[in-house]
Each structure stands twice: as structure tokens, then as C-alpha cells.
Amino acid sequence: MTVVGNTKTGAALDELAFLTAGDLAVGYRAGRFTPRDVAASHFQRIRALNSAVHAYIDVYEETAIAAAEASTRRFASAKPLGPLDGVPVAIKDLIEIEGRICTAGSAIRRDYVATRTATIVNKLVAQGAVILGKVHTVEFALGGWGTNTHLGAPRNPWKAEVPHTAGGSSSGSAAAVAARLATIAVGSDTGGSVRGPAGFNGLVGLKTTSGRISLYGVAPLSPSLDTIGPLARSVSDAALLFHAMMGPDPLDPTTARIPEADPFAELEAGVSGMTFAVINASEREQVHPDILAAYDEALKVYQTLGAKLVTVDLPKSPADFAVNAEILMGEAYTLYGAYAEDPASPMDPGVRARVLMGRAISAKAYIEAKWRAGADARAMLVALEGADALLTPTSRTPPIPLAEVDETTTPAILTRFVNQIGFCGLAVPNGFTATGLPTSLQIVCRPFEEALALRIGRAHEKATTWHTAVPPMARAEI
């Protein structure tokens, strides 16, 4: 790492981008560096590395530096707005900011200027977060590999030599945080689009329960299943961003009467005495051997920490949810079918094919799928009775070269069912493959039990060091 500048206290400017949000808050209060220093560090790295990583589609340097300077003044007066004050955040380009382009990953919307600002962005700005810019997404968030034909696919920072998948659809969010081009990022998850990219990039990613976080100002894919969630380099940072974004919003009726949650109340309480359900032999057969080995090691960690493991037969294989996605595809076709039907529209071929899957879904089939989802949720609650959470790998497969992606397949086999039954889930890093690609553990909890999922993830994080690893592209000379 090249030291390209020093703060007034002697810290290397480039090193500031490697700190977590928790680290930044401590440093700001101690006066070791300022939000202005940290923002400068990130933009220096974005200028140097974004052409290789391809995380950002739009960078807001002028407004972000102004926000960082305002934050610096607040800390100088000992009046920060809270733990997010001065923390650099990247926003998925599915989320609107008034006066800014919001493509939703589509060349069709290349010139669309938002006329409103999403509630979650307003909440982050009100708490002093520094919005660095917008990051790439799969077109209309409909894809698990992270590809984007027209606007370009972000690269997985763990593979510098051959471009690998960053996961989708929150591909830019994950690549930016992993490459140290943002401290934390906002993503969306309709079938695994936070957890999958988090898993592919060695990050923490939280899939929240529908209604927990406002969707006002977020371009929809499947309104019944869409959720917003954080991507971070630590469980604590994920909890921080989750807490900042959650809460009722009069502009989004689905958030009404949702119970509040304090993710920090028992974050450090551990897992001693808990019981975790684990997948059976049939499900294990489908998992890449390196991922399976990392999964088994994570289970041993939890046993060491005092948790009990029980093997369960799920009422339905996760693969069945991934194949029979009538709700997702039916709603996606309703929203974007006109584009997909128009051969002149510049829609990604893989996305077009997936949207067109919804054309054959009748109203009867859609309604039956909604009823079935409710029955599946009830059956899962019965299957997990007596267990605090279900532990699975986040993905069956590790990241693959972008050139080898088959758009008729999805890596979201083990994540999509969580959305369809309305549960929440957390992805945490738990190892590496033999070729140095991240592996990930998924912690699935009942609706509105995000705080429990974070607590379980934090216990694993405290007992291991996987989350501290830095990808090669983040260590590049700048």
C-alpha cells in the first residue's frame, strides 16, 4: 500500500478507507482524523481503482466532500449526529436521489433523473452519512450473478487476474465495500441480492423482513418480495446501517405498525444454549465441496461456543423455491414486460428472458403461489420449532469467471426461499475455497428477528478472523 498523504495526526490517508464504521466513530471522537480526511481517502481510491472494479456508475465527490466538511465541523464542536456521522456510504442505483440519474441498472433508464429522494437516503443524510455515489446493479435487480450487458458488470475484488462474478443484483454495493471504495453500502434483496453478493465478496449482508425498511423511492422488482439491507465488513457495521434505515414511513404503508428492533441490545450475548437447524444429507450433496467444508467448520465453531445442532428435513427443498418463482416473475413481468416484449428496447438478454418467464403466469397461478407461500411459511415454522435459526451455506457455488456465466442458471438456490416465506437472513464470511474465493454462511431467522440473526453472526465473527481478510484488488498500489 502506498502512503499518498497524511492527516494532521500522521495516519496514512489511504489506510482510512480500510477502517470500519465503528473504527471511524472512535477515530473521529479522538481527533485522530476527520470525516474530510476519510472522504478524501475514498475518492482517491475511487479515482484509482474504480475503472478496474467497476463498482460506481456515478460519483458525488463535490456534495460528499461538502457533507464530510460539515461532519468535521460537528465533531470539532463535539456535536455529531450519531454513529453514522461522517461514515462514507455507497447507494445501489435502484434507489432514487432527487436530481440524480437513477438507471436501475438499465440502459432504458440511462437518462432518467429522479424527482424524489428515497426515504432511506433521507434518513442516512439526516444522520450525517456521507453519500459517495451510486453503484451498479443488475438490470432491474433481476439476476444473481451480477452481470450487466449494457452498463458493465462489477468485478469481484478477490480475483485480480480473471474477472469473476461479484454476485447480484447488488453487485456494485458488494464490490465497492470489498475493494474499500466505501465503508458500507445499501443494497436490495428480492431473492438473495444482498446475501449473494455479500457471500461472493467476503462481506456481511442482511436480508431484512418485508416492511422493516421503507421502499419509498426504490425502483421495484417484485413489491411483494423486495427488501432493503446493508452490506458491510463487520456484523456491527451491518447492524448500524440496519438500525439507521429501519422504522415506519408514512410514504410506505407496508411499514405501518412494524415492531422496532434494537440490534445492539444483545449483539454480544453469544449463542450458548441456542439450537441451530442444519441441512440434511440430500441438500449437502448439491454444495461445492470447499463451501461444504467451510460450512462444517462454521458449525463446529458454534458447537464450541455452546450451541446445539439438529439436522432437519425442510418441508420443501430450497431448489423448488428457486425454480417455481411465480410471485417474483409474475410481478417482474407486470412491471417490465412491455420493455421485454419490445425487441427494440436495449434490455439485457438474460434479464429479458427472465422477465418473459412471467408472461405465462396466469392470475390463477399467481394467486395460488401467494397462498402457497403462506402455507410454506407455516410449514417452515413447524419444521424449525425448537430451533433458534437455520444455518445453510449462502450459495452452493463460489464466484465464477464472468465469461462462464450461464444466464439460464442462478446462484440464488439457497437464498430465494427466505424471501418467498417472509423470513430474514444474514450472510457472514466463513472461509475460502482452495483457489482463494470467499465462502459464506447464511443464518435464517423468523420474520422480524434480524437482531437475533446479527447476534448469531456476531458470535461466529468474534470466534474467527475471516471478515478481516482483504482482497487483492483492494491492496493494489494507488
CA 171 to chain centre: 9
| Active-site residue, selected from the candidate residues 170, 171, 173, 193 | 193
Say how many CA atoms lie within 13 Å of 463 toward its Cβ.
Answer: 21
From the candidates 92, 123, 159, 207, give the one annotated as an active-site residue.
92
- The whole-angstrom separation of Cα 80 and Cα 67 is 13
Q: Which residues pair with 426 in a beta bridge?
A: 206, 443
* Strand pairing category for 204-207 and 424-432: antiparallel
All structural domains of the chain, each given as residue ranges with its CATH number in brackets, are 16-475 (3.90.1300.10)
Per-position b or e across 352-369, b if 16+ CB within 10 A of its CB = bebbbbbeebeeeebeeb
Q: How far is CA 270 from CA 278, 301, 323, 381, 453, in A?
A: 18, 12, 36, 23, 11
193 is catalytic: yes
The yes-or-no answer on residue 169 being catalytic is yes
Ordered per-residue pLDDT tens for the chain, 478 residues: 333 334 444 346 679 999 999 999 999 999 999 999 999 999 999 999 999 999 999 999 999 999 999 999 999 999 999 999 999 999 999 999 999 999 999 999 999 999 999 999 999 999 999 999 999 999 999 999 999 999 999 999 999 999 999 999 999 999 999 999 999 999 999 999 999 999 999 999 999 999 999 999 999 999 999 999 999 999 999 999 999 999 999 999 999 888 789 999 999 999 999 999 999 999 999 999 999 999 999 999 999 999 999 999 999 999 888 777 999 999 999 999 999 999 999 999 999 999 999 999 999 999 999 999 999 999 999 999 999 999 999 999 999 999 999 999 999 999 999 999 999 999 999 999 999 999 999 999 999 999 999 999 999 999 999 999 999 999 998 8
* Model confidence, pTM: 0.96
How confident is the model at residue 478, as a pLDDT? Answer: 82
Distance CA 158, CA 472 (A): 6
The set of residues, in sequence order, having a beta carbon less than 8 Å from that of 303 and lying 6+ positions away, is: 309
Q: Look at residue 25 in the predicted model and tell me its pLDDT.
A: 97
Return the pLDDT at 4. Answer: 33
Any catalytic annotation for residue 71?
no
Could you tell me which residues come within 8 angstroms of residue 422 by beta carbon, excluding any fewer than 6 positions away? 209, 210, 373, 377, 447
